[in-house]
Amino acid sequence: MRLLLLITIASLAGAQTPPSRSGAAPPAGDARNGKKIFESYGCYQCHGHAGQGGAGARIAPRPIPFAAFSRYVRQPAGEMPPYTAKVVSDKELADIYAFLESIPAPPTANSIPLLNSAGK
């Protein structure tokens, strides 16, 4: 429960904070390979196939900044196991992050006809 609360707060802070112009950009990653790694390492089991969350936190769309993401994956709090560089290389982590960044945001409620016609 505390893990979920911490991740939610970190996600909200990252989502509401504009990207730092002075901070380093995330490393270039291969989204296609990141999706394969995300699936093969079982990340989907807690975070869902599209990073939407479940037993684990929502990590996409709009993931937290790469530095925070990397720090948390390497030294998590709560129930998530640590994924050190021996387990997930820096390149693989960049690929996973590129995959999470590639996931589009869901449509807004007012763009879904069925939801707009319900009250008419």
Within-domain flag for 7 = no
Q: Residue 9 domain-assigned?
A: no
Q: Is the pLDDT of residue 109 over 60?
A: yes
pLDDT in tens, 10-31: 554 444 444 443 357 889 999 9
Does the pLDDT value for residue 91 go beyond 90? yes
Mean pLDDT of the chain: 84
- pLDDT category at 119 given cuts 50, 70, 90 is low
Q: What are phi and psi of 95, to 5 degrees?
A: -65, -45
What pLDDT is stored for residue 102 in this prediction? 97
For residue 112, being part of any structural domain is answered with: no
Residue 119 in domain: no
Q: What region does 48 belong to: left with phi over 0, alpha with psi -120 to 50, or beta?
A: left
Domain count along the chain: 1
Find the domain containing 100 and state its range: 34-105
Residue 84 lies in a domain: yes
